[in-house]
């Protein structure tokens, strides 16, 4: 049994050939048999793509008057024509009402080009005497620190967290006597250094206890 689209074949043939045919038999004159036969096969192929249905077999034969016939019923001497199943494809997200949106792309911080970062306190060569190992620190940054960016301080080759990661001023404490070297870097959210200050070296001196 052919699928429901077979019943539409006569209407399609009417549009292509301009004549009416019976529901199950599709006559073609002998003179126009070859041309119309090709057109009919083309229509059948289009219908097979347009309407999905189980695979079906048509039978084609030419009668004693030279008229070509197509039918879904077997006939002596008829040629079988197999109509394949129509192909279907899933629709994309734009056509699906149930499509779920993909993960939102995180907003990227606006690009900032820093012109200057420097340690304004202590200055290079400063000497601190009898301060109990305390040294005030101040940073000069232009422009100001952008959202998501941080300040990383390095003292004597070791990164320190005591000054925080965003403050422009703070205090180093409990420093031992001797020379110390300090510099600061501006880093982005991934920890990549964007700009570094020049290092400054300062000295801590403590009074010598009297004996």
Which residue ranges make up each domain of the chain? Answer: 4-88, 116-205
Q: Per residue in 10-35, pLDDT tens?
A: 444 444 444 444 444 555 555 555 66
Q: What is the mean pLDDT of residues 100-127?
A: 79
DSSP 17: H
Number of helical (H) and strand (E) elements in the chain, helices listed first: 2, 12
Calpha distance 179→203 (Å, rounded): 4
Most confident of 10-14, 37-41, 127-131, 157-161: 157-161
CATH architecture under which domain 116-205 falls = Sandwich (2.60)
């Amino acid at each position: 049994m052919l699928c429901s689209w077979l019943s539409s074949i006569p209407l399609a043939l009417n549009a292509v050939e301009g004549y009416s045919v019976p529901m199950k038999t599709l006559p073609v004159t002998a003179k126009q048999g070859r041309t119309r036969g090709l057109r009919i096969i083309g229509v059948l192929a289009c219908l097979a793509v347009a309407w999905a249905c189980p695979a079906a077999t048509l039978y084609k034969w030419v009668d004693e008057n030279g008229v070509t016939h197509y039918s879904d019923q077997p006939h002596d001497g008829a040629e079988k024509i197999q109509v394949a199943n129509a192909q279907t494809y899933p629709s994309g997200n734009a056509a699906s009402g149930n499509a779920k949106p993909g993960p939102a792309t995180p907003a990227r911080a606006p690009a900032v080009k820093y012109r200057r970062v420097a340690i304004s306190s202590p200055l290079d060569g400063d000497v601190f005497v009898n301060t109990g190992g305390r040294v005030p620190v101040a940073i000069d940054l232009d422009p100001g620190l952008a959202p998501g960016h941080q300040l990383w301080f390095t003292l004597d080759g070791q990164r320190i967290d005591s000054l925080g990661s965003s403050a422009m001023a703070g205090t180093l404490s409990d420093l031992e006597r001797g020379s110390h070297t300090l510099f600061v870097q501006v880093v982005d959210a991934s920890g990549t250094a964007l700009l570094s200050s020049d290092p400054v070296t300062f000295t801590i001196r403590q009074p010598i206890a009297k004996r």
